[in-house]
Structures are given as structure tokens and as C-alpha cells.
């Protein structure tokens, strides 16, 4: 039997320009794990004790799903309709990685969760459907429950419908699996394969064996993912498989999953501390948007390019998109797997995203310019500091939410405010409204603990009179900044330029990133701009406005500020 993990890793080493950093790191680890079985520690929630397991690579178990798909599954559409599915090397390596690592003593699979993020038209649905049929009929599980799930029933049925068509095209499967309108039934083991959506009434009481979480980039509520993962608890060898392209819905389910996977991969590379040996993350994407200009790099997001996906079609799309920004956004997202925000926004995700971080020691004993967006007394409020050092602008922010509004906002906005609060990014104000004195105390604590002297603080005069007086009494110099194109246009354009040049270091703050992505602009006839909310009124922009207000002060006081910095 072939070791496709090693074959694929050898191919990666020979074709480094066609593979992104994440794939190189993951398959380097997997190849090493094949050669040298790893001892892994897990916390057993039932016994509340640490357990140590050694996982070995079982090539027979690793290869069974591949043999099943290529022997029994048929293409149902296009030029290959009716022909047997022939998996490519990268697909075989993915399957062997997911199914081949088992406990040395029990023989049970290592990975309970796998993820394949890849650009569209690379055979994702065919692969997911083939695995679904394997887990339904041939994984040795009695009473297997296989589900394809998505936020909408139509999306959930894509992989399920493809699996159904595969069965109908295959004489061997057609004789053994009943294909009904409400499910696929394998009577020999009393197993079932169904499509479910978040609106389904039957989510409770499931005993899932294999779950296909389809196109999670479109999911807005993590509850469905949590429910399906928890439903696997009674199975010995369950698996949840996430299949998705990138999307435009930011700071929801997809970003949470993607960033967790990224932390895991960073740990593989010795640059992180997050360990999760039950998870296999495989992410095909460009390393940066500029690689769209380099045809050889297109394979980084499209491992099936030239075989499954036509390179001529993609080449035509790229040429068209060069003169059409709206087409470019969609192309980067769907064909090159680079996260984007939707097209009405001010800035693209690639412009905003900056994962560079700093410590408080890096900004200790410096000078700052502040900006505050007070919002309403019951809403999200943000305070911002800008510190210029070594030609870069370091951003420190704090957000404020009333304690009694927290649960409502989590449920209503579908945003993880509670997780951000635990990370120290949000201050909870007692009661049902924001206590503006908490903002004053934050500025004072920064001054005392970090020796940061905030020279000027910008604010919108709306509803801020009493707080401004309090700040003045504590020695801060306050500058009024009215929110309009005349005041904000040039500072916003400067901020955009700085973000493009990666000069704005905001510690990869997810709240600021989310707010910037939510920000739209209104232009006047002279191309002056001002910030505004987009169509989704619950998508907050307070962090972006606070930063823009600070930039307005910086724009006005730049020369004066630099005299302090250069002293």
C-alpha cells in the first residue's frame, strides 16, 4: 500500500512555490508522526485525569476510505458523469492523515475533528460525499448516524444530494442503500445519512458518528457546530469534518474556527502554545493577496488546479477582475481563499488584517494621543491610544459594555463579547448602562501603570459634557472632534494608507478588526469620506470610529506630538 502522506510531502518539497506555509507546516508534522509515533497526553473529562496515548500510523485503516471511494463512488455530473472517482494525491494524503493515526493499544482513531478549507471547484463536495458514504456503509459502525449540516437546509443538502447521486450511479451501492427523500438508509447496520439545518426540529437527541459541516463561512451562530460536536459524545470513533471556502461574514463561526486552527498550526511550527491533538486542520490559501499576480502560486489555494479545476477559466477570471474591484473581492475570497468582508465596506480584509503583536513593555514610558467614541450609555464604547515608535503606530484599545446588557448582546448580535471580556479586551460596567468614569479610570491606569503620557484626547461632543469635565479635572487635555467628512476625510485616508503599509500595530485585536470590517463610507462630490454603518445595523463600528477620532487629533497635532517623541 502507498504511503500518500510521505508521497505528498515529497511533492511539497519539490514544489515549494505551489504550497502555502500552513500546508508545509502541517504535512511536515504528519510526515514526522508517521515515521516516529507520538506520545500524546489528553485530559479525560470522565475521570478528570491526564491520560497518555501513543498514536501509530495504520496504513490499512488509512487506505480503506480511499479504496472505497475509488471502487464504489461514481461521478454524477459533467464530463466524468458515471465514471469512478479517482482521488488526487493531495486528497489521498488528507484522507490517510484523517483516518490513519490510531491509538497503539485500542486501535481507535486519533482525530475527532478535521477541517479542509479550499477554494471553490476543487472537488470539495465530491470528497465530502464520498467520505459520507464510506462512514454510512463501511466504517464498521453499527447504527451509524451520518449528517450533512449547514445553516440553511439547501446548503446542507448539497453534499447529501451528491452522496445520493453517487449511490444511484454505483451498481454495488444502489443494491445496498435505500435512497429516500428524507435520508439514505443502510439496513445491514441500521445506519442513516441525513441533511440537517440549524432550523431543524431534530437536532436534540442525535447520536452522530460522522458530521459534515458544510460551508461554515456562511454560519452566523456557533450553536449548530457545538450541538453537532456534542452529539458525538457516545461514539468511540466519531468525526466532525468541516468543509468550506473562505467567506465574507467576519468574526462569527468561521473566523473563530480559522483562528483556532491557525493557533494549532503555529504550535506545530514552534511559534504557539495551543495544543489540540484531536484536530487536523488543512487550509489551502494564498499566503498573501499579491500572489494572485503569480500563476504558479495559484496552486496554493487550488490543489486541484489543472485537473479538477480548469486553469484557463481561472486565468480569464483574474484578467477580468483586474479592472473590476467588485469582481476582485469575490475572486480573492472564493478562488484564492483569502478572507474578505462584503463589498460595501470601506476596507478589504487583506488591508485590515495585521497579525503583528507587541507587549506592554514595547510601549512603556511613551507619549500617546487618545480618541474615544462614547456611543450610547447602553451600547459598546471604545477608548483608543496611538503611540508612535520606530515609524509604526501602536494601537491600544479598551471596550466597555454594561454587565446587564452582556447576555442580551451575545444572543442578539451573535458576537462573542463574553470571550473578549475574558481576554481583558472588554471592561464590564456595573448595571444596565456604561459608567463613563470607568473610561476615565482606564486612562488613569494606563498613565500610572505604563507611564504613558496621553497628550490629547479626541472626543465627539455629543452626550459627553459631564465626562469631558471629569477628564479635564484629572488633567487630560480634551479636543472636540465632530463626526463629518470635513473633519474625518483626510485622517481616514491616512489611516487607510497606514493599514495598507502595515504600520498600524493593533495587537491583532479581534474587536477592532471586526469594527473596521463593519465600517462603510459615505462620499461627497469632492471625494471626502466619513464613516458610517453598513446595512447590518447590529454590526458595530465603535472601535473604528474611536481610532479615526484619535487619527483626527494626530492629523491636527502631528508636529507637536513628534517634538515630544523625538526629545
**What's the pLDDT tens digit per position in 491-548?**
999 999 999 999 999 999 999 999 998 898 887 767 788 898 876 656 789 999 999 9
**Domain span holding position 28:** 4-283
DSSP secondary structure code for residue 362 in this structure: G
Mean pLDDT, the chain, rounded, equals 90
pLDDT in the model for residue 171: 92
Residues 6+ apart with CB under 8 A from 67: none
Residue in 380, 373, 378 with CA at minimum distance from that of residue 433:
378
- Percent share of the chain, pLDDT over 90: 67
Q: Decide if 428 is inside a domain.
A: yes
Q: Are residues 256 and 382 in the same domain?
A: no
Best mean pLDDT range from 270-279, 300-309, 313-322? 300-309
- Does 345 score more than 60 pLDDT? yes
| Average pLDDT estimate for 199-218 | 83
Q: Are residues 373 and 262 in the same domain?
A: no
| Average pLDDT estimate for 30-56 | 81
Q: Decide if 304 is inside a domain.
A: no
Residue 142 belongs to domain with CATH number: 3.40.50.300
Residue 447 belongs to domain with CATH number: 3.30.420.240
Q: Which three cell numbers stand for residue 136?
A: 454510512
Q: Decide if 309 is inside a domain.
A: no
Q: Are residues 275 and 362 in the same domain?
A: no
pLDDT in the model for residue 327: 75
Q: Decide if 346 is inside a domain.
A: no
pLDDT in the model for residue 567: 56
Q: Which three cell numbers stand for residue 553?
A: 487629533
Q: Decide if 56 is inside a domain.
A: yes
- Domain end point (choices 248, 283, 318): 283
Q: Are residues 273 and 372 in the same domain?
A: no
> Can you tell me the distance from the alpha carbon of 439 to that of 181, in angstroms, rounded to the nearest whole number?
58
Q: Decide if 336 is inside a domain.
A: no
Q: Which residue has the higher pLDDT, 432 or 110?
A: 110
> Can you tell me the distance from the alpha carbon of 33 to that of 18, in angstroms, rounded to the nearest whole number?
23
> Can you tell me the distance from the alpha carbon of 290 to that of 318, in angstroms, rounded to the nearest whole number?
12
Q: Which residue has the higher pLDDT, 250 or 133?
A: 133
Q: Decide if 321 is inside a domain.
A: no
- Does 367 score more than 90 pLDDT? yes
Number of domains in the chain: 2
> Can you tell me the distance from the alpha carbon of 305 to that of 299, in angstroms, rounded to the nearest whole number?
6
> Can you tell me the distance from the alpha carbon of 26 to that of 19, in angstroms, rounded to the nearest whole number?
11
- Domain end point (choices 283, 306, 328): 283
Label each residue of 429-479 as H, E or C. Answer: ECCCCCCHHHHHHHHHHHHHHCCCEEEEEEECCCCCHHHHHHHHHCCCCEE
- Domain end point (choices 237, 263, 283): 283
pTM for the full model? 0.69
pLDDT in the model for residue 161: 94
Q: Are residues 15 and 153 in the same domain?
A: yes
Amino acid at each position: 500500500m502507498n504511503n500518500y502522506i510521505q508521497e505528498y510531502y515529497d511533492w511539497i518539497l519539490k514544489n515549494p512555490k505551489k504550497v502555502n506555509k500552513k500546508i508545509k507546516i502541517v504535512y511536515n508534522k504528519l510526515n514526522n508522526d508517521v515515521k516516529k509515533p507520538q506520545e500524546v497526553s489528553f485530559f479525560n473529562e470522565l475521570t478528570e485525569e491526564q491520560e497518555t496515548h501513543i498514536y501509530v500510523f495504520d496504513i490499512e485503516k488509512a487506505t480503506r476510505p480511499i479504496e472505497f471511494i475509488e471502487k464504489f463512488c461514481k461521478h454524477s455530473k459533467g464530463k466524468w458523469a458515471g465514471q469512478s472517482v479517482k482521488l488526487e494525491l493531495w486528497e489521498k494524503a488528507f484522507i490517510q492523515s484523517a483516518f490513519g493515526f490510531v491509538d497503539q493499544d485500542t486501535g481507535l482513531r486519533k482525530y475527532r475533528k478535521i477541517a479542509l478549507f479550499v477554494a471553490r471547484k476543487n472537488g470539495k463536495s465530491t470528497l465530502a460525499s464520498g467520505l459520507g458514504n464510506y462512514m454510512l456503509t463501511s466504517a464498521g459502525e453499527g447504527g451509524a448516524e451520518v449528517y450533512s449540516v449547514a445553516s440553511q437546509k439547501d446548503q446542507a443538502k448539497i453534499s447529501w444530494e451528491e452522496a445520493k447521486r453517487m449511490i444511484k450511479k454505483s451498481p454495488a451501492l444502489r443494491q445496498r442503500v435505500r435512497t429516500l427523500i428524507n435520508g439514505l438508509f443502510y439496513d445491514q447496520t441500521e445506519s442513516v445519512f441525513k441533511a440537517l439545518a440549524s432550523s431543524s426540529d431534530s437536532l436534540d437527541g442525535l447520536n452522530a458518528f460522522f458530521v459534515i459541516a458544510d460551508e461554515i463561512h456562511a454560519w452566523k451562530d456557533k450553536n449548530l457546530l457545538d450541538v453537532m460536536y456534542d452529539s458525538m459524545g457516545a461514539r468511540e470513533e466519531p468525526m466532525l469534518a468541516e468543509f468550506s471556502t473562505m467567506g465574507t461574514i467576519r468574526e462569527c463561526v468561521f473566523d473563530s474556527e480559522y483562528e483556532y486552527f491557525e493557533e494549532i498550526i503555529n504550535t506545530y511550527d514552534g511559534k504557539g502554545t495551543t495544543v489540540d491533538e484531536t484536530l487536523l486542520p488543512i487550509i489551502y490559501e494564498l499566503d498573501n493577496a499579491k500572489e494572485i499576480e503569480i500563476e504558479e502560486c495559484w496552486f496554493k489555494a487550488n490543489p486541484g488546479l489543472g485537473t479538477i479545476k480548469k486553469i484557463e477559466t481561472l486565468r480569464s477570471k483574474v484578467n477580468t477582475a483586474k479592472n473590476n474591484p467588485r469582481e476582485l473581492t469575490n475572486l480573492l475570497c472564493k478562488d484564492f481563499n483569502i478572507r474578505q468582508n462584503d463589498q460595501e465596506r470601506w476596507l478589504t480584509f487583506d488591508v485590515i488584517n495585521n497579525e503583528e503583536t507587541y507587549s506592554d513593555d514595547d510601549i512603556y514610558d511613551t507619549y500617546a494621543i487618545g480618541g474615544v467614541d462614547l456611543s450610547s450609555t447602553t451600547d459598546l464604547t471604545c477608548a483608543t491610544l496611538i503611540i508612535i515608535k520606530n515609524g509604526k503606530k501602536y494601537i491600544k484599545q479598551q471596550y466597555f459594555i454594561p454587565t446587564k446588557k452582556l447576555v442580551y448582546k451575545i444572543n442578539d448580535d451573535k458576537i462573542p463579547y463574553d470571550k473578549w471580556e475574558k481576554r481583558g479586551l472588554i471592561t464590564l460596567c456595573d448595571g444596565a448602562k456604561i459608567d463613563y468614569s470607568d473610561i476615565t479610570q482606564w486612562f488613569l491606569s494606563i498613565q500610572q501603570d505604563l507611564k504613558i503620557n496621553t497628550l490629547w484626547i479626541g472626543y465627539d461632543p455629543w452626550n459627553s459634557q459631564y465626562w469631558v469635565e471629569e477628564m479635564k479635572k484629572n488633567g487630560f487635555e480634551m479636543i472636540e472632534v465632530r463626526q463629518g467628512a470635513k473633519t474625518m476625510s483626510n485622517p481616514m485616508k491616512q489611516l487607510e494608507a497606514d493599514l495598507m503599509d502595515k504600520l498600524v500595530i493593533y495587537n491583532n485585536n479581534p474587536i477592532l478588526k471586526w469594527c473596521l470590517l463593519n465600517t462603510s463610507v459615505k462620499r461627497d462630490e469632492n471625494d471626502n469620506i466619513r464613516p458610517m454603518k453598513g446595512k447590518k445595523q447590529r454590526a458595530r463600528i465603535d472601535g473604528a470610529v474611536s481610532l479615526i477620532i484619535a487619527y483626527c487629533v494626530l492629523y491636527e497635532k502631528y508636529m507637536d506630538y513628534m517634538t515630544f517623541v523625538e526629545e
